[in-house]
């Protein structure tokens, strides 16, 4: 499994989860062996035990496992169940992201949480391949089918705000505009249209990720998912 480097917005999202006491130890992070920055320092500074996993050995890889192979989950028997699992900028590099999620959540204790962050709009970046772009509807449908709790307070486009802030006229999810300032946005579009530039067709930023926090219920749930929390109080802008 690969990953592209964490951004400031990625780190900020994880730090806010920690500040809200939504991540518990031990913490397992997938894709820890790609050679870039991981969440180890952030997690350990919060006083939580951290473990990294990947397909191959690496400086911060504690367990070698392929999350597309259910039998590999036995590798974690000495530590599991985990309080939290982090899957940051990993799913887009896998052939079967649903199986990855299923196996990761199987390692959680009841009430444990899986923090997922993945590009939605991003340039191609092969580690070793770039196969998927995951959208808000996928997150909701996955939670519904697996009977998970989806925390709406942290369901967002990191750096832009809650996904609920960005809907079209029909109420469907949409991407953030390329500029948060409406006056600047309309002026820019006018100039691009006037001079017939390539920017006239730019309707969203070139880099947007989706972040979601799934919670494994403590008890048996009926089919469907529960939404925890409402619109977050914070408003992020660029």
* pLDDT one-digit tens code per residue, 211-236: 999 999 997 544 455 667 765 544 33
- For 40, residues 6+ apart whose C-beta sits below 8 A from its C-beta are 29, 32, 50, 52, 60
Flag whether 39 is in a domain: yes
pLDDT value for 86: 98
Reduced to 3 states (helix: H, G, I; strand: E, B; else coil), residue 134 is coil
What domain range includes position 142? Answer: 8-160+206-225
Q: Does residue 195 carry a pLDDT above 80?
A: no
* Residue 227 φ then ψ, to 5°: -95, 125
Higher pLDDT, 7 or 47: 47
Flag whether 3 is in a domain: no
Flag whether 168 is in a domain: no
Q: Does residue 191 carry a pLDDT above 90?
A: no
Flag whether 111 is in a domain: yes
Flag whether 152 is in a domain: yes
Flag whether 191 is in a domain: no
Flag whether 134 is in a domain: yes
DSSP state of 28: E
Residue-wise pLDDT tens digits, 80-139: 999 999 999 999 889 999 999 999 999 999 999 999 999 877 566 676 777 678 999 999
Q: Other CB atoms closer than 10 Å to residue 109's CB: what's the count?
A: 15
Structural tokens at position 115: 């923090």
Reduced to 3 states (helix: H, G, I; strand: E, B; else coil), residue 118 is strand
- For 194, residues 6+ apart whose C-beta sits below 8 A from its C-beta are none
Measured CA distances, 174 to 122, 181, 205, 219 (Å)? 16, 17, 12, 34
Flag whether 105 is in a domain: yes
Task: Determine if the peptide bond prior to 234 is cis (ω within 30°).
Answer: no
Inter-axis angle of helices 97-106 and 136-146, to 10 degrees?
50
Which pLDDT band, with edges at 50, 70 and 90, does 30 fall under?
A: very high
Measured CA distances, 43 to 49, 52, 179 (Å)? 7, 11, 33
Structural tokens at position 100: 């990855």
Bridge partners, residue 85, by sequence: 28, 114
Unique residue bearing structure tokens 């409406």:
182
Q: How many domains does the chain have?
A: 1
Domain CATH code at residue 138 = 3.40.50.150
pLDDT value for 188: 52
């Amino acid at each position: 499994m690969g990953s592209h480097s964490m951004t400031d917005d990625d780190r900020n999202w994880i730090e806010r989860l920690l500040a809200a006491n939504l991540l518990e130890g031990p913490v397992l992070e997938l894709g820890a062996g790609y050679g870039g920055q991981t969440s180890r320092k952030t997690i350990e500074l919060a006083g939580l035990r951290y473990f990294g996993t990947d397909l191959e050995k690496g400086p911060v890889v504690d367990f070698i496992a392929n999350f597309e192979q259910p039998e590999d989950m036995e590798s974690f028997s000495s530590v599991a169940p985990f309080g939290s699992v982090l899957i940051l900028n990993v799913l887009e590099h896998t052939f079967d992201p649903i199986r990855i999620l299923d196996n990761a959540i199987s390692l959680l204790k009841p009430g444990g949480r899986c923090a997922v962050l993945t590009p939605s709009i991003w340039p191609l970046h092969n580690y070793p391949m770039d196969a998927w772009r995951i959208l808000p509807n996928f997150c909701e449908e996955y939670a519904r089918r697996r009977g998970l709790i989806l925390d709406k307070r942290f369901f967002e486009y990191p750096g832009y705000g809650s996904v609920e802030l960005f809907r079209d006229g029909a109420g469907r999810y949409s991407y953030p505009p390329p500029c948060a300032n409406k006056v600047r946005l309309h002026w820019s579009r006018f100039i691009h249209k006037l001079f017939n530039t390539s920017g006239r067709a730019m309707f969203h930023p070139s880099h947007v990720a989706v972040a979601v926090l799934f919670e494994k219920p403590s008890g048996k749930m009926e089919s469907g998912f529960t939404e925890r929390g409402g619109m977050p109080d914070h408003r992020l802008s660029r």
